[in-house]
């Protein structure tokens, strides 16, 4: 029987889920894997008043050093989230020769390069399955299942809270605020939900995926980001009537040495498999060579979903033994890759103008778009009312962001255009 002692740091939603999971599956794990996991020490600033179920003989402490200095602890599970002091804790753990599991996307996205190097030097394992997609095995699929493939593109729905909000807005007419309150009640959202809805959580996860697929650590600040707060019911309704579905997509594409990396609300055909990924489900749709398209989906947020990823890391650690750390901790970094600026990227756009309902207005707008080289694929006026403003929806052909922005600034200044035009990128996925 292999016996593994754990030092658990962080007893929030995910930490308590890990305790629950290990306690509920104790005999299953023992019998199936011939392994016994014991949470030897639990460290948190807010400790439970007494040992709860699953923490029977666990030592409770507020001092992280009690975990790091204990030679009997084989592996540290860091579940406090955020960059600091999580980074300092993980660095100290690796320096003490302890293996580490973390679910911390901000940590791996910002400091993965340094931590992987350190893990390699110390001959330690550093696992992070739950950092992207919670328990849905996106990281293991990329780093093990299809590790020999070349990756051409990734389209990810990798924030459960945003996907939940957009789904509730579409299906139940909820506002962003109403749906966010629901997500918080259900424990999907971050303690600071701004990071979910402003797209930063997806940026962190995309940075991790870019490293694992294209082999390059990129600065999270180089990833273009737009959140979902400006998405309105009106646009969801208009898009739905045009056969489109809205998702917060994390997109990475590689062509030769150029990569595109961006996170923004995106309209996709409602017939694409990603359009049917709703609620807190996450999904990644990857184009790989030679395997082709791969779609992986599952619950991407929530207590037990995240705990599931941590437990899979634990069991992988126990079965791998001390000598063969994850291959991705040992990748050589790709060189010469350049990130395209958002201005250089060409996409199609959905645009909504709120205009006075008078003859000739459409020709003025399309004239300005035409002068900027922007082709129109379809135009729909959603209502007729000569006494008020009406929405006009245009779907453009491929255009650069730069030209679109210049054209929209001009159009916004027309007296007949009554509010700032709304532009949402569209993506054809393959």
Contact residues for 412 (Cβ-Cβ < 8 A; gap 6+): 420, 421
190 binds ligand HSE (CB under 6 A): yes
In this complex, which beta carbon is closest to ligand HSE, that of residue 211 or of residue 349? 211
> Least separation, in Å, of the C-beta of 297 and ligand HSE?
13
- Applying the rule CB under 6 A, the residues between 81 and 140 that interact with ligand HSE are 134
Q: Compute the residue count for the chain.
A: 430
| Smallest distance, ligand HSE to C-beta of residue 228, A | 12
Least separation in angstroms between CB 300 and ligand HSE: 5
- Whichever of 12 and 54 has its CB closer to ligand HSE, that residue is 12
Site for ligand HSE in 370-429 (CB under 6 A): none
Let me know the angle formed at the C-alpha of 247 by 339 and 220, rounded to the nearest 5 degrees: 30
Cα distances (angstroms) measured from residue 166 to each of 29, 169, 174, 235, 248:
38, 5, 9, 11, 8
Least separation in angstroms between residue 302's CB and ligand HSE is 8
Q: Which is nearer to ligand HSE, 201 or 401 (CB)?
A: 201
Q: Which of 70, 129, 196, 313 binds ligand HSE (CB under 6 A)?
A: 196
201 binds ligand HSE (CB under 6 A): yes
Nearer to ligand HSE, 74 or 226 (CB): 226
**Bridging pattern class, strands 422-426 and 389-396:** unpaired
The residue among 78 and 190 lying less far from ligand HSE, judged by its C-beta, is 190
Specify whether 205 is catalytic: yes
Please give the sequence-ordered ranges of beta strands (E in DSSP) within 158-228, or none if there are none: 224-225
DSSP secondary structure string for all residues of 361-407: HHHHHHHHHHHTT--EEEEEE----TTSEEEEEEEE-SEEHHHHHHH
Part in contact with ligand HSE (CB under 6 A); list of ranges 153-161, 348-356, 357-365, 387-395: 153-161
- Residue 355 makes CB contacts below 8 A (sequence gap 6+) with 361, 365, 389, 390, 392, 416, 417, 418
Gap between the Cα atoms of 205 and 202, Å rounded? 5
Which residues from 294-333 bind ligand HSE, rule CB under 6 A?
A: 300-301
Q: Contacts with ligand HSE in 21-60 (CB under 6 A)?
A: none
Q: Residue 90 and residue 64: Cα distance in Å, rounded?
A: 11
The tokens for 256 are 């030769």
The least CB distance from residue 397 to ligand HSE, in Å, is: 33
Residue 199 Cβ vs ligand HSE, minimum distance, rounded to whole Å: 11
Q: Which of 105, 140, 205, 254 is catalytic?
A: 205
160 binding ligand HSE? (CB under 6 A): yes
d(CA 222, CA 338): 11
Q: Which stretch binds ligand HSE (CB under 6 A): 82-90, 184-192, 268-276, 367-375?
A: 184-192
Contacts 24+ apart (CB under 8 A), 53-57: 53/20, 53/23, 54/19, 54/20, 54/22, 54/23, 54/24, 55/19
What sign does the dihedral 408-411-413-416 (CA atoms) show? negative
Report how many residues bind ligand HSE under the rule CB under 6 A. 11
Q: Which residues of 352-365 are buried (b: 16+ CB within 10 A; e: fewer)?
A: bbbbbbeeebbeeb
Q: From 85, 38, 35, select the one nearest 65 (Cα to Cα).
A: 85
Q: How far is the CB of 87 from ligand HSE (least distance, A)?
A: 18
For ligand HSE, the closer CB: 162 or 426: 162
Residue 159 touching ligand HSE (CB under 6 A): yes
Piece in contact with ligand HSE (CB under 6 A), picked from 1-9, 183-191, 329-337, 416-424? 183-191
The site for ligand HSE (CB under 6 A) is made up of 134, 159-161, 188-190, 196, 201, 300-301
Catalytic residue numbers read: 205
């Amino acid at each position: 029987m292999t016996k593994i002692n754990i030092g658990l740091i962080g007893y929030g939603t995910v930490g308590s889920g890990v305790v629950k999971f290990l306690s509920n599956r104790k005999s299953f794990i023992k019998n199936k894997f011939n392994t016994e996991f014991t949470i030897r020490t639990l460290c948190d600033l807010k400790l439970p008043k007494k040992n709860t179920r699953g923490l029977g003989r666990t030592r409770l402490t507020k001092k992280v050093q009690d975990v790091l200095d204990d030679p009997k602890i084989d592996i540290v599970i860091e579940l406090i989230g955020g960059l600091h002091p999580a980074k300092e804790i993980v660095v100290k753990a690796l320096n003490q020769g302890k293996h580490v599991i973390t679910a911390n996307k901000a940590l791996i996205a910002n400091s993965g390069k340094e931590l992987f190097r350190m893990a390699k030097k110390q001959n330690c394992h550093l696992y992070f399955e739950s950092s992207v997609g919670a328990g849905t095995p996106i990281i293991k699929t990329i780093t093990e299942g299809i590790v020999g493939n070349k990756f051409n593109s990734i389209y990810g729905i990798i924030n459960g809270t945003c996907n939940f909000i957009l789904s509730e807005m579409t299906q139940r007419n909820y506002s962003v605020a109403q749906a966010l309150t629901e997500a918080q009640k259900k424990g999907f959202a971050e303690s600071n939900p701004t990071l979910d809805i402003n797209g930063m959580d997806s940026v962190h996860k995309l940075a991790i995926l870019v490293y694992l697929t294209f082999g390059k650590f990129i600065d999270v600040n180089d990833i273009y980001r737009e959140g979902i707060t400006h998405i309105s019911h009106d646009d969801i309704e208009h898009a739905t009537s045009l056969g489109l579905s809205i998702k917060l997509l994390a997109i990475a594409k590689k062509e030769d040495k150029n990569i595109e990396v961006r996170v923004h609300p995106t309209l996709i055909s409602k017939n694409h498999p990603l359009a049917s990924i709703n609620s807190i489900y996450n999904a990644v749709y990857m184009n790989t060579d030679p395997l082709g398209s791969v779609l992986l989906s599952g619950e991407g947020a929530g207590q037990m979903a995240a705990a599931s990823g941590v437990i899979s890391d634990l069991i992988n650690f126990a079965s791998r033994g001390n000598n063969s750390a994850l291959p991705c901790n040992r990748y050589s970094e790709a060189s010469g890759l350049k990130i395209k600026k958002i201005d250089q990227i060409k996409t199609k756009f959905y645009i909504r103008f709120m205009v006075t309902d008078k003859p000739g207005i459409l020709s003025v707008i399309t004239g300005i778009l035409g002068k900027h080289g922007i082709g129109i694929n379809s135009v729909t006026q959603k209502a007729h009312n000569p006494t008020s403003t009406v929405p006009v929806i245009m779907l453009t052909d491929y255009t650069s962001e730069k030209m679109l922005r210049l054209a929209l600034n001009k159009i916004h200044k027309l007296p007949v255009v009554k509010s700032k035009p709304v532009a949402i990128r569209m993506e054809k996925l393959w």
